């Protein structure tokens, strides 16, 4: 029995050696053989095709990144436009109401005589205050002008006048009130400025 085991081990070792020799022989044969010109051309063509595919893949990856950036920019612009539309949604209504507010202010400058006129005056004043309160809730503010330094973003100078004791570029009179909606000037104040 012991002899059979040694014989089996010897046979297995011989088979392993012969397999190793066969593998080495294949590698030696592969090293000594040179590719034919046909195989060389196929290899060059395959390498060129690989290079072309890699270039196309890189081009498509860059195109994808550009499309993704365009999509992100478009989404951001749409969000900003929507926020601006929400913030300034009342602008056209305010612009339509400003002439009526100006007329109410002119009506309130009239001198009141008698009880009937006083009650009419009080009604006009209540309407005027109601409109101003509604506009204030929407973010409309009156631009303070008289006594302030002239700012071309807030004021529209229609006259200049030299006034003793007043520094130049100071608003000395206001002809028409200016208004802002949130941070946007919707109508500049028409003013007279000192020289």
CA pair distance 8, 2, nearest whole angstrom: 10
Higher pLDDT, 152 or 37: 152
Residue 33 CA: distances (Å) to CA of 23, 29, 46, 119:
16, 6, 20, 117
- The full set of domain ranges for the chain reads 39-87, 88-194
Name the CATH superfamily, with its identifier, for domain 88-194. Answer: Head domain of nucleotide exchange factor GrpE (2.30.22.10)
CA distances for 82 relative to 11, 75, 85, 179, angstroms: 85, 11, 5, 23
Proportion of the chain above pLDDT 90, given as a percent: 55
Average pLDDT over residues 120-136: 93
Q: Give the integer Cα–Cα distance in Å for 34 and 22.
A: 20
Q: For the whole model, what pTM was predicted?
A: 0.58
Which residues neighbour 184 within 8 Å (Cβ) at sequence distance 6 or greater?
A: 88, 91
Question: Whole-angstrom Cα distance, residue 103 to residue 176?
Answer: 11
Pairing relationship of beta strands 189-194 and 155-161 according to DSSP bridges: parallel
pLDDT at 48: 93
Average pLDDT of span 109-136? 91
Angle between helices 115-137 and 91-108 (to 10 degrees): 160
């Amino acid at each position: 029995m012991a002899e059979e085991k040694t014989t089996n081990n010897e046979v297995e070792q011989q088979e392993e050696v012969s397999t190793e020799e066969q593998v080495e022989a294949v590698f030696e044969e592969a090293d000594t053989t040179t590719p034919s010109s046909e195989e060389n051309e196929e290899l060059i063509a395959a390498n060129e095709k690989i290079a072309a595919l890699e270039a196309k893949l890189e081009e498509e990856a860059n195109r994808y990144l550009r499309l993704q950036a365009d999509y992100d920019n478009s989404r951001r612009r749409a969000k900003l436009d929507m926020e601006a539309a929400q913030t300034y949604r009342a602008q056209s209504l305010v612009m339509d109401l400003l002439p009526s507010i100006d007329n109410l202010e002119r009506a309130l400058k009239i001198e009141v005589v008698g009880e009937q006129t006083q009650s009419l005056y009080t009604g006009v004043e209540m309407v005027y205050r109601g409109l101003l309160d509604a506009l204030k809730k929407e973010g409309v503010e009156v631009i303070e002008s008289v006594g302030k330094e002239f700012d071309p973003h807030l004021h529209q100078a229609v006259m200049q006048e030299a006034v003793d004791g007043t520094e130049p570029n100071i608003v000395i009179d206001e002809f028409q009130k200016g208004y802002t909606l949130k941070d946007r000037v919707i109508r500049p104040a028409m003013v007279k400025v000192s020289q």
